[in-house]
Amino acid sequence: MFVLVLNQSNIVQDGQNNKLIYRFPNSVVLTDKYVAVSSITMYYSWFNITSALANNIITYTYGNTTTVYTITIPDGLYEITDINNYCQFAMIANQTYCTDGNFNYYPFDIIINSTRYAVQLNTYSTLTVANATTIGRTYPNPALAPATTAAQVNPIVTFPANFSSIVGYPANFASNSNLNNAYVPPTPSASNNYVTKSQGTAATDGVLSYLSNVAPQVQPNSNLLINLSNINNPYSQPSGIIYSLTPSVAIGEIINDRPPNFMWNKLIDGTYNQLTLSFYGTNLQPLVIRDPQMTILLCIRDKNEAFLGSK
């Protein structure tokens, strides 16, 4: 059995860190040879929200105007709390919130509902300037708030197609405006988002809460597929997939993966001067890895070489 070591020095320098080339010292003839992944050490550093994935857009309205605000989330590796924090950052920049001097009140928030294994969207009725003043709140830009004589409304929050899968909502989901606090939620069912409505004081009238109705895919690429050149598997597409890596660590931590049993794949017989290893996402597209620090060990053995009790 032979061991090949691939690390940062083998990475193709195209800025994506998803392709490594192992060059043999000399051309070698590989006949009846099998290859398997021995171990992988790398950092969990591939983004889940990017402009390339087109899953970085949320829109919302504010007050009873027709202005639609677009939140464009920068490329990054986000949990639901991070998404909500960035939305609040954008709402501060847009001046679409009110404050009591100690706490900011935003028109919506996106939170985890762990009990229901769901993502919850809460939208809040935008108070008129008069009502906000009554309970000690002010607007940074009163012109954006409902006028004294205007009806209070909830923001219309929209999750475009690709972002919607991150939070487990239907494509192009849009929340209800709850105009005049008159919205009546439908009976919960598997086909809707289990919306509920909270009644209370002037500050809490018309709070609408929605739950995702499919499992959120916060990380669209929850595992890496390892593709190696010169593998011909007629039952797989692409034909060179030899291993799947699933991170069991938190974002930014190091992944140490050692398969309990080697999965041997036959190399195409021929003369080689190099092998190319690539990382694919679950959509079978090349995946951009942010941190180039990695070490991959591959084992090559002869067809009849005994290893771990197999021949």
CA distance 92 to 104: 9
More confident position, 282 or 93: 93
Q: HEC string of 202-227?
A: CCCCCEEEEECCCCCCCCCCCCEEEE
Angle formed at CA 296 by CA 290 and CA 301, multiple of 5 degrees? 155
* Residues 46, 217 contacting (CB under 8 angstroms): no
Domains and CATH numbers, the chain: 2-46+221-302 (2.60.120.1100), 57-211 (no CATH)
Q: Establish how many alpha carbons lie within 13 A of residue 239's alpha carbon, considering only the half-sphere containing its beta carbon.
A: 10
Residue 199 has what pLDDT? 66
Residues linked to residue 43 through DSSP beta bridges, in sequence order: 254
Q: How confident is the model at residue 132 (pLDDT cuts 50, 70, 90)?
A: confident
More confident position, 127 or 51: 51
CA distance 28 to 39: 23
Residue 48 has what pLDDT? 94
User: Going by C-beta distance under 8 Å and a sequence separation of 6 or more, which residues neighbour residue 199?
Assistant: 205, 206
210-230 tens-digit pLDDT:
999 888 999 999 899 999 999
pLDDT (mean) for 42-67: 91
Residue 151 has what pLDDT? 67
Residue 309 has what pLDDT? 44
Residues linked to residue 259 through DSSP beta bridges, in sequence order: none
DSSP secondary structure, 88-109, as one string: HHHHHHTT--EE-SS-EE-SEE
**Model pTM score:** 0.84
Amino acid code (one letter) for 85: N
Judge whether residue 24 has pLDDT over 50: yes
CA distance 305 to 308: 10
Amino acid code (one letter) for 29: V
pLDDT (mean) for 27-39: 94
Judge whether residue 148 has pLDDT over 70: no
Judge whether residue 200 has pLDDT over 70: no
From residue 111, give the alpha-carbon distance in Å to each of 21, 108, 169, 210, 215: 42, 10, 13, 10, 14
Q: How confident is the model at residue 306 (pLDDT cuts 50, 70, 90)?
A: low
Q: Which of 6-20, 44-58, 85-99, 196-210 has the lowest mean pLDDT?
A: 196-210
Task: Tell me how far apart the terminal alpha carbons of the chain are, to the nearest angstrom.
Answer: 12
Q: How confident is the model at residue 172 (pLDDT cuts 50, 70, 90)?
A: very high
Q: How confident is the model at residue 310 (pLDDT cuts 50, 70, 90)?
A: very low
* Residues 297, 3 contacting (CB under 8 angstroms): yes
Q: Residue 159 has what DSSP assignment?
A: E
pLDDT (mean) for 135-162: 84
Judge whether residue 203 has pLDDT over 50: no
pLDDT (mean) for 241-264: 92
Q: Which of 42-46, 143-147, 198-202 tops mean pLDDT?
A: 42-46
Token pair in block for residue 118: 């769901």
pLDDT (mean) for 107-113: 96
CA distance 204 to 71: 25
36-47 tens-digit pLDDT:
999 999 999 999
